[in-house]
Each structure stands twice: as C-alpha cells, then as structure tokens.
A and B are shown apart, each in its own frame.
Chain A
Amino acid sequence: MTTPFADFRAGLIAVFPTVAAAVPFALILGQQATEKGLTPAEMLAMSSIVFAGSSQLIAVGLWSTPTPVAALALMALLVNLRHTLMGASLSGKIAHFGRWRYLAAFLLTDESWALSERRAVDRPISRTFYFTVALTMFVFWQVASVLGTVFGAYLKHPEAFGLDFAFPAIFIALALGFWKGARRTGPVLVASAVAAVAVHATVPGAWYVIAGALAGIAAAVITAPREAPAETLDSLGEATR
C-alpha cells in the first residue's frame, strides 16, 4: 500500500520530464497566438477551457478574422477524438475515482494519460497520483502559454535546440513500458506504426493517430490467444499456488 505522500512524490517525479517538454511548446503556442492578434486573456481562456496542446496550436494556425467558430470547433473535435480511446482504456483503472472522474476527464491529456497507463502496469492509479500529474501539467500549461504571449518572440526556432524531440522521446520511453514480449506486443506495434505512417503520408489532419490505434487494436485481437485455454491456465495457477 502506498501513502498519499508517496503517490504525490511519485506523481511529481513522473510528470517532471513531461512538464519540461510541454513548457517550450506552450511558449511557442503563446507566441503564435499573439501573432494572430489573440490577447493574453484569450490565451489563458483557451488554455484553461480547451487544455489540449496540439488542437490549440492548430486552432491558432487557423485563426483569422472573422473568427471561423464552426471550423475551429470541428477541428478540435477531430484532433481530440483520440482522447475517447484514451479515456476508454483508462476508465476501468480509475473507476474508484467516483465523481472525481468527471474532473479527471477534463484534465486528461496525452501526457497524463500515458503516465497513468504506465503507472497502472505496476500498481493501481490513486487519485493523488493522477491529480498530481494532471494538475501540475495544467498549472504549467496556463503559466507558460500566457508567458509565451509576452516573451514568445525570443523562442522562434526551438527545433535548433532539439526541443521538439522531447515529446517523441518521452513517448518512446513510455511505450517500452508496455512491452509484454514479441508475440503479444510485436504485432500491435508493427500494425500501429505502419498504419500511422501510411495515413500520415496520405490523409491530412490527425487521423493517423486514430488509424494507428485501431490497426494496433485489431492486430492484438487477431493474434490474441483464445480465451478458454487462458482461463484454464489461470485456474491451474490458482490450484498450484
């Protein structure tokens, strides 16, 4: 059993690299927003109400006068559809949150989802762990995106410093944590990677994440061992325990 303080500490340690990766991203977002004429207050409103990095960056790219409200809303829906898949996989692991799940859903990001799923491989996700991770991301996201509207002009070429690579680096490291052997995880990774790269090259927008995820899921279901033998093995394990 872990104590709330230990979970708080584990959450902070887990979230630290993702915060370090998200801050430059938020600064650029703020800078881009200013170039489109958005005010710091509007940036704060967007970051706290939408709180979804890539859709915010695309939204700022699409922003024009008059404001294309319907196009922005539809784009946010499509880009963030992957959150539905993430919520579905996380749901059972945080069922014990009760009503707090409605807040947990609001704070769900790629990062807090990935860190929580990684945590769930080893132990249950406590409320303290989840909200430490999610709220820390939230606070830094607000502060950095608003700071970006003020100081963003100084950070025009983050890729020269390799900062854009922090994000994939985090995800590669986290993905390794889900490895359950070549037979079980291999087909998932190959199918997902091939589908994502193919769709990314041919279809505009963020459909590649959905396509890759669905291909990976399909590969898992097709290559999964049959239910009945697995259950027999389980009961066999119980009997010998």
Chain B
Amino acid sequence: MTIDPVNFAAILAMGVLTYMTRILGFLIADRLPKSGPVRVALDALPPAVLVAVIAPIVMSGPIEAVAGLAVLVLALRLPLIATVVAGVATAALLRLAFL
C-alpha cells in the first residue's frame, strides 16, 4: 500500500488539469448571454456530445451497428436499465454467433 512520489505528482497534475476543464465550463457559462445564438448552441450541446461519443462506437463494426440499432428501437419502449441489459445481451449474442 505505497504511493511513489513521482507517480503521485503525475496523478496530482492529471487531477488539477482535469478539474480545470470541469470548472472552466461553469465559469465561462456565467459570462455568456442568456439568449440568442449562444443559447441555441448550449441547448444543442447535450445531444451533440452524446452522439459524438456514440457514433464512432456504433460505426466500428457490423455487430456494433446492429446492436446500436436494436438499442435505439428498444429505448423507445423500455426503461433505461432494461434497454441496457437488452443491448448488452444483443452485443454478446451477436459476438457469440459471428466471432
């Protein structure tokens, strides 16, 4: 149960810079206008970021694409946890069958 000082310095540096990225958005937003194009941009941000994270994963192969499509359809009807379980099961079954 030891911590190497150099490793700790690296962890601390990572932590400080990560906190900066997090607090910066809060502080910037306070100074932004509350209407107009900036407002439109901030409102569009959640779906834009979510899709940017998902799209390369779903496009990484046919199994991921099919499982992603299945999740999309299931999510319209099922609660979140059931959707996730079904998505994981779909990916696992497809990989079992085709890999």
Contact = CB atoms under 8 A, between A and B. Distances in A.
Interface of A: 14, 16-17, 20-21, 38-42, 45-46, 49-52, 55, 59, 66-70, 72-77, 80-92, 95, 101-102, 104-106, 108, 110, 114, 117-118, 159-176, 178-179, 185, 188-189, 191-193, 195-197, 200-201, 208-217, 219-221, 224, 227
8 contacts: A41-B2, A76-B17, A91-B28, A167-B57, A169-B83, A172-B87, A179-B47, A212-B48
A55 B88 contact: no
Which secondary structure characterizes the binding site on chain B? helix
Interface centre among B7, B48, B95 (most CB of A within 10 A): B48
Which secondary structure characterizes the binding site on chain A? helix
Contacts of B10: 59, 67-69, 72-73
Contact of A162 (B11, B48, B90): B90
A117 B49 CA distance: 11
A188 B47 contact: yes
Interface of B: 1-4, 6-26, 28-30, 32, 34-37, 40-59, 64, 67-68, 71-72, 75-76, 80-81, 83-84, 87-93, 95-96
B80 A114 contact: no
A89 B47 contact: no
B50 A196 contact: no
A10 B28 CA distance: 29
A210 B41 CA distance: 14
